[in-house]
Amino acid sequence: MNGESDREVPQNSSRATEGSDAQRLRATAQLIEHAQRELGRVIAGQSQVIEEVMIAVLCQGHALLEGVPGIAKTLIVKSLGRLLGIGFQRVQATPDLMPADILGTTILRPGSDSFTFHAGPVFTDLLLVDEINRMPPRTQAALLECMEERQVTSDGIRRPLPAWFTVFATQNPVDFEGTYPLPEAQLDRFLLKIRVAYPSEAEELQILERHHAVTGAGLLEDARITPIPEGLLAAATAEVRSIRVEQELYSYILSLTRRTREWPTLLLGASPRAAISLMRVAQATAAFDGRDYLVPDDVKRSVQPVLRHRILLKPEAELEGFDADRVLTDVIAAVPVPRQ
């Protein structure tokens, strides 16, 4: 997957252009360096998770963080809000949460016959939805329009959400009591599904030392994260979107996504929206490597977080011990890599 042969690119994206990569990705490089330094003061390890969370922001997409309780899923997103210096709201999902609780509601003004709209927590830049699978289906569905169209329709009036509106949702993969599994249509709105694993022993030791030293305000307050400079996020997002994608890479992305639709162990393959998401995330992955052009390795590294929640295994495949990541690894191995 990481061999030199996989990194071959067409001649018109030759190494003659590599010297200018740092100049073309100046804002992105500054953002990545700042994020890794500041978030590293709060989060021990989890470098892959931090990278994928930043990729979601740079691609202006939503992300689903999956992991057992107590491994800093919520802390990562709260720290990200401090880092970016944008609006932040948190919703704790419960089985009795209603759509109006997150979207807002129209109420009668006291002493008058007119109504006013009170915006809900969804009207923010960064929305953290903790334990999203504890929301009832009706409330989950209320997020669909927000995530796809970045707007809320209330009383026939369309109310736009902030330009940076992004949903980061968390869920626990082992607790099924009192939960409502997200339907495929909802899952497809998430750009990435990020797996958050246990930290290593050395990282867990660092966590203990940090929490022993904190004051009553807590680790996040003690860290005093420095927000990024104004305008840096917009500049970095523009740079990521401008990363070159050669025709051979378009074909490679399509081959991977279309191959999932005919894979023998899959009941549901990746959609055209998934192919677009794969291209966008691969562009951001290239930026993290300091390149302003795409190579096959960027696409390969992006396949699992982009597609793992968009495919559906056949029941017999699950009984045989397959999971989404294992199937996607097989798909990657079966699709020829473009070469010059």
- Between 51 and 45, where is the model more confident? 51
Cα separation of the two ends of the chain: 17
Q: Given pLDDT bands bounded at 50, 70 and 90, which one contains residue 216?
A: low
Domains and CATH numbers, the chain: 1-26+242-340 (1.10.8.80), 42-224 (3.40.50.300)
The tens digit of pLDDT for each residue in 139-191 reads: 998 888 889 889 998 878 899 999 899 999 999 887 767 788 888 888 999 99
pLDDT tens digit string along 194-205? 999 999 999 999
Mean pLDDT of 22-40: 89
If DSSP states are collapsed to H, E and C, what string results for the chain? CCCHHHHCCCHHHCHHHHHHHHHHCHHHHHHHHHHHHHHCCCCCCCHHHHHHHHHHHHCCCEEEEECCCCCCHHHHHHHHHHHHCCCEEEEECCCCCCHHHHHEEEEECCCCCCEEEEECCCCCCEEEEECHHHCCHHHHHHHHHHHHHCEEEECCEEEECCCCCEEEEEECCCCCCCCCCCCHHHHCCEEEEEECCCCCHHHHHHHHHHHHHCCCCCHHHHHCCCCCCCCHHHHHHHHHHCCECCHHHHHHHHHHHHHHCCCCCEEECCCHHHHHHHHHHHHHHHHHCCCCECCHHHHHHHHHHHHCCCCEECHHHHHCCCCHHHHHHHHHHHCCCCCC
